[in-house]
């Protein structure tokens, strides 16, 4: 039996989950993995709370974990960027391995960190063992595309908007009351959190650097029940997806609301669940779903990383630097099909005007709905699904559409998920 | 870089997929895993076909792999039970590691094989890395339930019956034409194949022996488009599931058609795809889906096992023998909710007769549909969803129902998926 001594930085819900899981499932973990994990020190800036440390020493200075010679692995669960990063760097420089759930540190500062002896399964999609799938189960595969529901708040809100027909503001209030959204919800609903996770998935699946700044990000604030209902009518659902695709010009990396065909499994991942779908050359299309957050679920991923550290101390997370010169495409160069909702005056000739502009930009139509928008003044929504067209072309067409006197409000445009 | 020399027994589509994958993705695999895999010998009883062996030696006697001193790992891909088992046993006794995709050998003879240095990810659910999820990503979790779509033929057929309204015989003919079903389809449509896989999943997830004989098995031959359509009306889909559940009296292990609520993700896994849903104490409900068969998809799992063998030569698949005294429950003791379709004469008082019998067996109703059965002679289907009741009780009630003069044909009963 291998033994591993760990020090835990932080004592929040995830850290408590890790302590509990290591204690309650000790025999099972040892039996399956052949690894015995001992928590020798827990450090938290706050005074020692009323938590069973199962015999571990306690410090109020997380840096004490570095100087404890028994500690093989530091488990960083304090969150935030500054102190967490400092601790991770110092630990790695001290020859200790690190397991962290800190997506911001990895996504924003990952390039400054050595990747060896650093693991962060819990930073992406909670309990879902997606990073370990890249390293083990799908190790033989080249990936061509990935799409993920990687923010539970957005997925909860969009699911509820669809099932109840309520609008963004109403559902945000409820999500906040339920603890699914923060008082300042921007990090989740504007897509930043999802972009952090997509940055990490991109580095691991496609061998890029951690390029958060190059990920295109759009949140879900603009989505209305009307769009959800039109999407349903067209055979789609609106999901907030993180999308990665490898093509001849580089990697697409984008986070935005997306129309997903109801025939796709990912369209049926509802509520706070997360899911990651990967398209591989040998394994084909695989999907992994599960809870994206929560103390116990995240602890499951943290402990998996602790065990992996014992089994493969020198394994590198993701591809190594040799393959890191792949360009990440600007959004203007990406091709996509689009959903357009064009609010227009209810007058003869408007539809012809609209389609003429689209046609002049080589935008072909796949489906059309025309209905009363229920707004005052005899206006109608023209709803269109287009075929694939480059984003830059679509921008030009939208500018011309919105300049029309008969188009009464900004055009709503939502990208349609690529068919991978 | 670790190096591993392997010998491959068999040269069918999976073996060809393994050879191709190891060649085409060699650099990627080495970079991710730190393992370099060399195929030194391929053996197949048939004469050497026109396949690129990438420099490996060729034998027509698979036992040559045993005497080749370079071979560290034997990859058994010949299928069948006798020779395959003989080869696996001899290899393990010779100190070689074994990777196999042979579900029948593992499910039926697994107890006679040492579990160390024996891996069989590819034997269950094709490309889906479910066994590796037990060993790595979910290593810290105790599992309480598992349900899986683990036979692609059945799932294809039920999906098509639902979307097209066609009956079993018609869709079987098409599945055979498409190569999804064998000329003798029994192995798939009667549930044997799924039971093999469930036997393996049970041993790994719940630490039992390989107890194929104790798995309850029912196939899909009796399912009619009418049942699928009633199920839809009630908010369900009919899936052929393998179900494992741990409860106070032991382990439930059963394969049968099952009503799955449309709100469950597994209800939306359609076509030849497989999916395995696991309920864990920490990770919660996770689902893994992907292609369940095919040369490349299966090769993905085989190569993952080869790499795992290099990384963890001594790891044991699943829990070790210490936990193997868990009883497996007979189907009569299992409780379930049921869908019942009772063909009756269209006469007053019949519904009261039926519900009185159910009530006398403590069977409570959850939902009822009563409709013309479109059969001759004024008969109606009474369709009932019951609450949970023990199988033995249900059998007694069904015997009494079928003895009624007003019940015109055998009652169709389909179990409803447990709410885990």
The reply to whether B371 falls in a domain is: yes
* Residue A299 at interface with chain B, using a CB cutoff of 8 Å: yes
Structure tokens at A332: 């203007």
Residues B243 and B362 placed together within one structural domain of the fold: no
Residues B86 and B202 placed together within one structural domain of the fold: no
Catalytic residue among A85, A103, A197, A239: A197
CA–CA distance from B173 to each of A250, B182, B193 (Å)? Answer: 45, 10, 19
Q: Interior CA angle at B266 toward B264 and B271, to 5°? A: 135
Domain containing residue A10: CATH number: 3.40.50.720
Report the pLDDT value the prediction gives residue B322, as an integer from 0 to 100: 47
Question: Which tens digits make up the pLDDT trace of B34-71?
Answer: 999 999 999 998 877 788 999 999 999 999 999 999 99
* pLDDT band, residue B116 (cuts 50/70/90): confident
Residues B277 and B342 placed together within one structural domain of the fold: no
Asked if pLDDT for residue A322 goes beyond 50, the answer is no
B368 CA: distance to closest CA in chain A (Å)? 25
Selection from A12, A20, A187, A189 nearest residue A103 by Cα: A187
The reply to whether A208 falls in a domain is: yes
Domain containing residue A222: CATH number: 3.30.360.10
A299 CA: distance to closest CA in chain B (Å)? 7
Asked if pLDDT for residue A180 goes beyond 50, the answer is yes
* Residue B135 at interface with chain A, using a CB cutoff of 8 Å: yes
Question: Which tens digits make up the pLDDT trace of A206-222?
Answer: 999 999 999 999 999 99
The reply to whether A300 falls in a domain is: no
* Residue B162 at interface with chain A, using a CB cutoff of 8 Å: no
End residue of a domain, out of B55, B85, B100: B100
What is the arithmetic mean of pLDDT over B374-403?
Answer: 90
Query: In the annotation, is B197 catalytic?
Result: yes
Domain containing residue B407: CATH number: 3.30.70.260
A289 CA: distance to closest CA in chain B (Å)? 5
Catalytic residue among B96, B197, B226, B239: B197
Selection from A21, A57, A27 nearest residue A42 by Cα: A57
Report the pLDDT value the prediction gives residue A49, as an integer from 0 to 100: 77
The reply to whether B15 falls in a domain is: yes
Q: What is the pTM of this model?
A: 0.95
Nearest to B34 among A134, A294, A315 (CB): A315
Residues A85 and A159 placed together within one structural domain of the fold: no
Residues B267 and B340 placed together within one structural domain of the fold: no
CA pair distance B87, B107, nearest whole angstrom = 16
Asked if pLDDT for residue B355 goes beyond 50, the answer is yes
CA pair distance B264, A334, nearest whole angstrom = 34
Cα B57 off chain centre by: 35
Residues A80 and A194 placed together within one structural domain of the fold: no
Residues A202 and A155 placed together within one structural domain of the fold: yes
CB A290 within 8 A of CB A172: no
Q: Interior CA angle at A60 toward A55 and A61, to 5°? A: 115
What is the arithmetic mean of pLDDT over A59-73?
Answer: 95
* Residue A21 at interface with chain B, using a CB cutoff of 8 Å: yes
Question: Which tens digits make up the pLDDT trace of B135-183?
Answer: 999 999 999 999 999 999 999 999 999 999 999 999 999 999 999 999 9
Q: Contacts of residue A301 in chain B, CB cutoff 8 Å?
A: 137, 283
Residues A339 and A280 placed together within one structural domain of the fold: no
Report the pLDDT value the prediction gives residue B288, as an integer from 0 to 100: 98
End residue of a domain, out of A306, A329, A352: A329
Residues A14 and A52 placed together within one structural domain of the fold: yes
Report the pLDDT value the prediction gives residue B109, as an integer from 0 to 100: 95
* Residue A285 at interface with chain B, using a CB cutoff of 8 Å: yes
For A62-102, the three-class secondary structure string (H helix, E strand, C coil) is: CCHHHHCCCCCEEEECCCCCHHHHHHHHHHHHCCCEEEECC
The reply to whether A116 falls in a domain is: no
The reply to whether B233 falls in a domain is: yes
CB A197 within 8 A of CB A275: no
The reply to whether A146 falls in a domain is: yes
End residue of a domain, out of B100, B120, B151: B100
Contact A303 B31 (CB under 8 A): no
Number of domains in chain A: 3
What is the arithmetic mean of pLDDT over A159-184?
Answer: 94
Neighbour-count burial of A348, counting CB atoms closer than 10 A to its CB (0-12 exposed, 13-18 middle, 19+ buried): exposed
CB B369 within 8 A of CB B230: yes
Asked if pLDDT for residue B324 goes beyond 90, the answer is no
* pLDDT band, residue A321 (cuts 50/70/90): very low
Selection from B241, B222, B67, B34 nearest residue B148 by Cα: B241
Residues B193 and B287 placed together within one structural domain of the fold: yes
Neighbour-count burial of A296, counting CB atoms closer than 10 A to its CB (0-12 exposed, 13-18 middle, 19+ buried): buried
What is the arithmetic mean of pLDDT over A281-310?
Answer: 96
Out of A84-93, A374-383, B391-400, pick the least confident: A374-383
* pLDDT band, residue A319 (cuts 50/70/90): low
Q: What is the ipTM of this complex?
A: 0.94
Residues B257 and B364 placed together within one structural domain of the fold: no
Residues B90 and B192 placed together within one structural domain of the fold: no
A vs B, Cβ pairs < 8 A, gives: 202
CB B300 within 8 A of CB A138: yes
What b-and-e string marks burial along B387-408, b requiring 16 or more CB atoms within 10 Å of the CB? Answer: eebbbeebeebbebbeeeebbb
Contact B294 A284 (CB under 8 A): yes
Report the pLDDT value the prediction gives residue A72, as an integer from 0 to 100: 96
Contact A140 B263 (CB under 8 A): no
Q: What percent of chain B has pLDDT over 70?
A: 96
CB A103 within 8 A of CB A124: yes
State the residue range of the domain holding A370. 335-416
CB A150 within 8 A of CB A292: yes
The reply to whether A378 falls in a domain is: yes
């Amino acid at each position: 039996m291998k033994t591993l001594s760990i020090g835990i930085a932080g004592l929040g819900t995830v850290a408590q989950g890790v302590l509990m899981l290591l204690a309650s499932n000790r025999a099972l973990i040892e039996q399956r993995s052949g690894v015995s994990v001992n928590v020798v020190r827990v450090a938290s800036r706050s005074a020692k709370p009323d938590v069973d440390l199962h015999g571990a020493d306690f410090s109020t200075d997380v840096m004490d974990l570095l100087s404890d010679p028994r500690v093989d692995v530091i488990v960083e669960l304090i969150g935030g960027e500054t102190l967490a990063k400092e601790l991770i760097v110092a630990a790695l420089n001290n020859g200790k391995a690190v397991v962290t759930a800190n997506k911001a540190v990895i996504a924003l500062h990952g390039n400054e960190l050595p990747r060896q002896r650093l693991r962060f399964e819990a930073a992406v999609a909670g309990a879902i063992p997606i990073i370990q799938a890249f390293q083990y189960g799908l190790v033989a595969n080249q990936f061509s595309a990935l799409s993920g529901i990687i923010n539970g708040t957005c997925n909860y809100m969009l699911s509820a908007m669809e099932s109840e027909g309520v609008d963004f503001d109403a559902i945000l209030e409820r999500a906040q009351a339920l603890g699914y959204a923060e008082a300042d919800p921007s990090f989740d609903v504007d897509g930043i959190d999802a972009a952090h996770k997509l940055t990490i998935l991109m580095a691991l699946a496609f061998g890029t650097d951690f390029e958060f700044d190059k990920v295109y990000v759009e949140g879900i604030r603009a989505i209305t029940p009307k769009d959800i209902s039109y999407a349903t009518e067209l055979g789609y659902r609106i999901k907030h997806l993180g999308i990665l695709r490898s093509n001849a010009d580089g990697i697409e990396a984008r986070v935005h609301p997306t129309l997903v065909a109801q025939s796709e499994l990912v369209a049926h991942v509802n509520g706070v669940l997360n899911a990651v779908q990967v398209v591989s050359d040998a394994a084909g299309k695989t999907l992994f779903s599960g809870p994206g957050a929560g103390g116990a679920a995240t602890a499951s991923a943290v402990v998996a990383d602790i065990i992996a550290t014992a089994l493969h101390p020198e394994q590198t997370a993701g591809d190594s630097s040799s393959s890191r010169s792949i360009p990440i495409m600007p959004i203007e160069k990406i091709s996509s099909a689009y959903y357009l909702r064009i609010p227009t005056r209810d007058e003869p000739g408007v539809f012809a005007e609209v389609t003429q502009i689209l046609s002049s930009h080589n935008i072909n139509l796949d489906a059309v709905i025309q209905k009363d928008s229920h707004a005052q003044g005899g206006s109608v929504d023209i709803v269109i699904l287009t075929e694939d067209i480059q984003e830059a072309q679509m921008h030009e067409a939208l500018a011309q559409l919105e300049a029309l006197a008969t188009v009464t409000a900004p055009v709503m445009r939502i990208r349609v998920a690529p068919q991978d």
